[in-house]
Amino acid sequence: MSNARRQGLDEHPTELAESNVGRVEYRFDRRGPATVVVFYGGHMRAGLSLGEEVYAEAGCSVLVPSRPGYGRTPVSAGASAGGFADVTAALCAHLGITEVAAVAGVSGGGPTAVAMAALHPVLVQRLILQSAVGPLPWPDRRTRLGARIVFAPHTEHVSWALLHSLVRYAPDAGLRMLLRDLTLLPVRDVVAGLLPEDRERLLALFSRMRSGRGFTRDLKELATAGDSVGHAVRVSQPALVIATRQDAAVRFAHSRALAAALPHAELLESRAEGGRDRYAHFNSLRHGARDPGAHPSDPSADSRQSSPRSGCRPTPRRCTRKP
């Protein structure tokens, strides 16, 4: 795989799988024997990537399914987070994956990751949540009303065509427009402070995003806590919850609620800022906190090495550890 593609600058090729529980689009980047399953949030699909190089550098294979309504995965592929968790477990069986080193949920993909850990404890070894929607209603009423108009199935292609053009021909203005709802910091300062490589990645990502029928589905499903609490309390695996107080899209309260509901969770407060949050959260798995496979209450976890079973150990970057 080329460095550009690995860094998320190109669209990745994907495949389709059929099973008795539904059809799903997916990307499976094979590297080592251990596999990490990544569920992305809104406007993302299997062909796009966001900071996955942390897993590649750790020698993990990465499986990314398009959630229902995104890419080529139909809305009917799993009527709920739990339903799509079952679809993904069937996909793992189809691909010969008998053990998942970690399931990672980013933003709106968080509830599906929690459901997969809860419903398939033999398959999934650990849970990683990054700015994930928790057992609270999401998003706020103003955002919901606007999104139902702008990103509805019959309007999203027009909305994204305009945004793609803006990102292409006026990148600074495009970044300010798209990042203003993602950060609580002054958006001009955030854009001005982006590293060149992060700026390039964000522009490439925003130029390819689409909502399909998936975002409308997300808005409906995540309007209430639903099964989120029930799934969270059933998670027996160690869980790592990463979040920042500067995130405007998924407020820090969601991560607090997740850490409180998950029986074996550790909450790490990232020092990431603004629009770089999603990248910095993946980077926080690279430098400085503990092995997510270690039990949070294990006093030796900071120095614990990865289990030979897992084969990969994403190692975190400097974060503020929360009880």
Residue 289: CATH number of its domain: 3.40.50.1820
Tokens read off for 62: 């990465």
For 189, the domain range is: 141-215
The pTM assigned to this predicted structure is 0.85
- Worst-scoring range by mean pLDDT, 38-42, 53-57, 284-288, 312-316? 284-288
Shared domain for 42 and 61, answered yes or no, is yes
Mean pLDDT, range 200-227, rounded to an integer: 92
Per-residue pLDDT band at 139 (split at 50, 70, 90): confident
Amino acid residing at 177: M
Mean pLDDT score across all residues of the chain: 84
Q: For residue 83, is pLDDT > 50?
A: yes
pLDDT of residue 168: 96
> Which of the pair, 56 or 106, is modelled with greater confidence?
106
Shared domain check, 95 and 76 = yes
Shared-domain flag, residues 59 and 13: yes
Q: How far apart are CA 143 and CA 53, in angstroms?
A: 31
The pLDDT value recorded for residue 301 is: 33
Of 215, 250, 272, which residue is a domain's last?
215
What is the distance of C-alpha 137 from the center of its chain? 18
Higher per-residue confidence, 152 vs 273: 152
Q: Are residue 180 and residue 296 in the same domain, yes or no?
A: no
Residues 235 and 98 grouped into a single domain = yes
pLDDT exceeds cutoff 70 at 322:
no
Residue that finishes a domain, picked among 187, 215, 243: 215
pLDDT of residue 312: 61
R_g (Cα) of the chain, nearest Å: 18
Q: Are residues 249 and 277 in the same domain?
A: yes
- To 10 degrees, what angle do helices 141-150 and 214-221 make? 160
Q: Which of 66-75, 82-91, 139-148, 277-286 has the lowest mean pLDDT?
A: 277-286
- pLDDT for residue 92 is more than 70: yes
Least confident of 19-23, 57-61, 231-235: 19-23
Question: Average pLDDT of 117-127?
Answer: 98
Q: 228 and 194, same structural domain?
A: no
User: What's the gap between Cα 205 and its chain centre?
Assistant: 14
Average pLDDT of the residues in 133-154: 90
Domain boundary among 189, 215, 241: 215
H-assigned helices in the chain: 3-6, 53-57, 81-94, 110-119, 141-150, 156-169, 171-179, 187-192, 196-206, 214-221, 228-232, 252-261, 277-283
Q: Is there a single domain that holds both residue 159 and residue 292?
A: no
32 has a pLDDT exceeding 80? yes
Confidence class of residue 9 from pLDDT cuts 50, 70 and 90?
low
Asked if residue 234 and residue 211 are part of one domain, the reply reads no
| Same domain for 25 and 131 | yes
Do residues 111 and 235 both lie within one domain? yes
User: How many structural domains is the chain composed of?
Assistant: 2
> Do 87 and 23 fall into the same domain?
yes
